[in-house]
Amino acid sequence: MKQYVSLFALSLFSLQVAALELAKHPQVFDAGQGVSLALAPSADGKQALVQVRGINHPLDEVVFLTDVRELGNEQRDYGIRLDGRDYNLLNKRRAWSGESYQLNLPNTQGFELSYNEQKTAALKSGDLLAVYQKQEKDGLQARLAAFDRKKRVADYSASLQEMDGEASKACGAPLTTKVDWSAISDEQLIGLSVPSYCGEVVNQMAYLCGKDDRYKADAKTLKGVDCRFGDGLKLNEKDGQLLFTTHPDEANQGDFINAILRNR
């Protein structure tokens, strides 16, 4: 399913950017190892320009217009749209030691940020806004915001292969989890962590093989796992293939799978 943005929506968004008034005092934070973050709030505090620099990541030097979500007690999240999802790029929190900022990047651990007075003094909000407007005109943020189904399937497939590899090592037998990706909608790929559901069968097999060698012999009789999303939980075997049907609303899926595997 292709996603698109109407010309009317783009025009409206461009007008909003042109009318953006920034507060007088932007800030720059350091995360160590050459990583820094520039933060320029809007005058009304509802939005903020955020730019991360010094990272080996597609978001490097991209200026995002974030939506600020107030959480109370001077705590807030700075959200963007990334790969079809709402994503909190930056968090501000209060702790006993004072306020703290954390930068969040996809597939990495969070970066704790510290205020840099010297870099803050050198930052000009107008320069940051100009970079944002140029990137926005080139469609950079829009491309990052759009859902990339091919990339998501590749990422999920790689995660499942890693889980299969760990289970194969634990059980001493080649185990493969197959997913009919064409049967999974864009909405499911965006909203669900498919490996967390479809990889649970080999996770439980690895756990059982680690506890008792008899399950290793059992694993050698299996060809692998076919996973799909359906109306409820089911785990059957056909010709050495485990047929697993999962559902996101079903609880205790690991226990369900474990019990069936133990009683094969």
- Per residue in 151-207, pLDDT (tens digit) is 999 999 999 999 999 999 999 999 999 999 999 999 999 999 999 999 999 999 999
Q: How far is CA 146 from its chain centroid?
A: 13
Q: Exposed e or buried b for every residue in 146-171, given b needs 16+ CB within 10 A?
A: bbebeebbebbbebbeebbeebbebb
Report yes or no: 91 and 113 within 8 Å, Cβ to Cβ: no
pLDDT reported for residue 9: 42
Is the per-residue pLDDT at 139 higher than 80?
yes
- Chosen domain end from 87, 116, 145: 145
Structural domain includes residue 1? no
Q: Predicted confidence band at 137 (pLDDT cuts at 50, 70, 90)?
A: very high
Q: Report how far apart the first and last C-alpha atoms of the chain are (Å, whole number).
A: 40
Q: How far apart are CA 62 and CA 135, in angstroms?
A: 8
Range of the domain at 200: 149-262
* Between 10 and 18, residue with greater pLDDT: 18
Report yes or no: 164 and 84 within 8 Å, Cβ to Cβ: no
Structural domain includes residue 2? no
Is the per-residue pLDDT at 16 higher than 70?
no
Least confident segment among 14-23, 33-42, 129-138: 14-23
Is the per-residue pLDDT at 98 higher than 90?
no
In percent, how much of the chain has pLDDT > 70? 93
| Residue 38 belongs to domain with CATH number | 2.40.160
Residues 18 and 73 placed together within one structural domain of the fold: yes
Instruction: State the amino acid at position 179 in one-letter form.
Output: V
pLDDT reported for residue 95: 77
Domain count, the chain: 2
Torsion angle, alpha carbons of 248, 253, 177, 160, to 10: 70
pLDDT reported for residue 81: 96
pLDDT reported for residue 18: 53
Beta strands in 73-169 (DSSP E): 75-82, 85-95, 98-103, 111-115
pLDDT reported for residue 13: 45
Structural domain includes residue 257? yes
- Chosen domain end from 145, 178, 204: 145
Please compute the mean of the pLDDT values over residues 251-256 and round it to a whole number: 96
Instruction: Determine how β-strand 177-179 pairs with β-strand 224-229.
Output: parallel
Instruction: State the amino acid at position 241 in one-letter form.
Output: Q
Report yes or no: 125 and 26 within 8 Å, Cβ to Cβ: yes
Residues 199 and 234 placed together within one structural domain of the fold: yes
Task: Quote the tokens at residue 240.
Answer: 């050495």
- Chosen domain end from 92, 125, 145: 145
